[in-house]
Structure 1
Amino acid sequence: MTVVFVHGVPETDEVWDGLRARLRGDSVALRLPGFGSPRPEGFTSTKDEYVSWLEGELRAFDGPVDLVGHDWGALLVARVASRGVVGLRSWAVDVASVLDRDYIWHDAARLWQTPGAGEAWATQTLEVSDLGSPLGVAGQLRAAGVADEHARVMGRSFDETMASSILALYRSATPNPFAHWGADLTSVTSAPGLVLHPTHDPYDGGPASEVAAALGARFCPLEGLGHWWMLQDPGAGAAALEEFWANPER
Structure 2
Amino acid sequence: MTVVLVHGVPETPSVWDPLRAALRRQDVRAVRLPGFGCPRPGGFGATKEEYVAWLAAELESMGVDEVDLVGHDWGGGLVVRLVSLQPELVRSWVTDAPGLAHPGFRWHDVARLWQAAGAGEQFFEQIVALPVEARAEAFAGIGVPQEHAVAMVREVDAVMGGCILDLYRSAVHVAEEWSPAFTDIPVPGLALVPSEDPYLAAGVARASAARAGAAVAELTGLGHWWMLQDPAAGAARLEKFWSEVAK
Q: Indicate the RMSD between aligned Cα atoms, in angstroms.
A: 1.5
Q: What letter matches 1:23 in structure 2?
A: L
* Structure 1 counterpart of 2:35: 34
Q: What residue is the counterpart of 1:185 in the other structure? A: 182
The corresponding residue for 1:46 is 47
1:226 is paired with a residue whose SS is coil
- 2:71–2:78: 8 Å Cα contact kept in structure 1? yes
Whether 1:234 aligns to 2:236 is no
In the alignment, which residue of structure 2 is the partner of 1:3? 3
Partner Cα separation in structure 2 for residue 114 and residue 83 of structure 1: 29
Q: Give structure 2 stretches of 5+ with no counterpart.
A: none
Q: What's the counterpart of residue 113 of structure 2?
A: 111
CA shift, 1:101, in A, is 1.0
Identify, as 1 or 2, the structure richer in helix.
2
8 Å Cα contact 2:48/2:171 also seen in 1: yes
Name 2:85's counterpart in structure 1.
83
Q: How many residues align?
A: 244
Q: Distance in 1 between matches of 2:152 and 2:33?
A: 13
Give per-residue Cα distances to partners, 1:32-81, cap 9 Å, x unaligned.
11110122221010000000000010012221210000000000001111
Deviation at 1:183, TM superposition (A): 1.8
Map 1:1-250; keep pairs closer than 5 Å.
1-25=1-25, 26-61=27-62, 62-84=64-86, 86-128=88-130, 130-133=131-134, 136=135, 138-175=136-173, 177-189=174-186, 191-205=187-201, 206-248=203-245
TM-score (norm 2): 0.94
Instruction: Kindly indicate whether the alpha-carbon contact (under 8 Å) linking 2:104 and 2:204 is maintained by their aligned counterparts in 1.
Output: no
Residue 89 to residue 248, structure 1, CA distance change in 2 (3 Å)? same
Q: Alignment partner of 2:46: what SS?
A: coil
Q: Greater CA deviation, 146-155 or 161-170?
A: 146-155
Secondary structure of 2:223's match? coil
Report the residue type matching 2:206 in the other structure.
S
| C-alpha distance in structure 2 between counterparts of 1:80 and 1:121, whole Å | 30
Distance in 1, matches of 2:87 and 2:225, equals: 29
What's the TM-score once normalised by structure 1's chain length? 0.93
Secondary structure of 1:112's aligned partner: helix
Query: Identity over aligned residues, as a percent?
Result: 51
Unpaired runs of at least 5, structure 1: none
Partner Cα separation in structure 2 for residue 233 and residue 203 of structure 1:
18
